[in-house]
Amino acid sequence: MMFSVFYFYGVLREAAARGVQTVYSSVVHDKQVEFYFDGGVCGLGGGPYFYYIVLRDYEKVHNGTSPPCPPDPGIYKYIAVERSGSLGYSFVYVGPAVINLQANATVIYVNRAGDAFSFDLYLNVYNNSTGWLPSGYTVHLAYDGSVLSCSPISFSVPDGVISPAASGFSSWGR
């Protein structure tokens, strides 16, 4: 009688352990992934992904290779679903950023008309949000064309993203 009690207890324990292992192995995992923005195309790092869900006041489901970029200011949650059921997610922030443009010279003196001069420009963009910030900037110089001529007159930072609470830095010059 005692042997059958221990045997029955052992069978129950094995079945319970197998059940727990089955639950652990069937759990899908979600992870925070990088958001990218390049040439007007948005997406999530990692993958490959089966489809995307974009959350903001409503849900949008997108099949295909990449979801659309955020259309309006706000915070968006992008969720990408792998074929295994695992999720990759990223928060994206579209809105104001802290931008600081500086030059290495504020006043430049020349000896005579026709003299050339140069200076460096520094652009620092700080993302003060909790989501990825899609960014791309162009700086245009404003000057009196009757007094001097500048070349080039604009500088661009290609499309990219700035991670949450981070800075993006670009410099142009000589």
Statement to judge: residues 82 and 118 lie in one domain: no
CA distance 42 to 60: 15
CA 31, chain centre distance (Å)? 14
| % of the chain residues with pLDDT over 70 | 78
Query: Is 77 within the bounds of a domain?
Result: yes
- pTM of the full predicted structure? 0.61
Q: Containing domain of residue 127, as a range?
A: 98-172
- Binned at pLDDT 50, 70 and 90, residue 88 comes out as confident
Indicate the residue among 64, 94, 124 that finishes a domain: 94
Strand duo 35-38 + 41-44: pairing? antiparallel
Query: Is 20 within the bounds of a domain?
Result: no
- Binned at pLDDT 50, 70 and 90, residue 95 comes out as confident
Judged by DSSP in three states, 11 sits in helix
Statement to judge: residues 116 and 82 lie in one domain: no
Statement to judge: residues 104 and 65 lie in one domain: no
Is residue 143 a contact partner of residue 150, using CB atoms and an 8 Å limit? Answer: yes
User: Would the pLDDT of 25 be above 60?
Assistant: no
> What's the average model confidence in pLDDT over 70-90?
83
> What's the average model confidence in pLDDT over 118-137?
84
Burial of 108 (0-12, 13-18, 19+ CB in 10 A): exposed
Q: How many domains is the chain partitioned into structurally?
A: 2
Query: Is 121 within the bounds of a domain?
Result: yes
> For residue 114, is it left (φ>0), alpha (ψ between -120 and 50) or beta?
left
Statement to judge: residues 116 and 168 lie in one domain: yes
Two tokens at 107?
């006043």
Is residue 53 a contact partner of residue 61, using CB atoms and an 8 Å limit? Answer: yes
CA 165, chain centre distance (Å)? 11
Statement to judge: residues 137 and 90 lie in one domain: no
Indicate the residue among 51, 78, 94 that finishes a domain: 94
Statement to judge: residues 110 and 90 lie in one domain: no
Statement to judge: residues 121 and 141 lie in one domain: yes
- pLDDT score at 24: 52
- Binned at pLDDT 50, 70 and 90, residue 21 comes out as low
- pLDDT score at 51: 74
Better pLDDT: 25 or 92: 92
Count CB-CB contacts under 10 A for residue 107. Answer: 4
Is residue 113 a contact partner of residue 169, using CB atoms and an 8 Å limit? Answer: no
Statement to judge: residues 117 and 53 lie in one domain: no
For residue 67, give the CATH number of its domain.
Answer: 2.60.40
Indicate the residue among 43, 64, 94 that finishes a domain: 94
User: Would the pLDDT of 4 be above 70?
Assistant: no
Query: Is 3 within the bounds of a domain?
Result: no
Q: Which residues pair with 47 in a beta bridge?
A: none
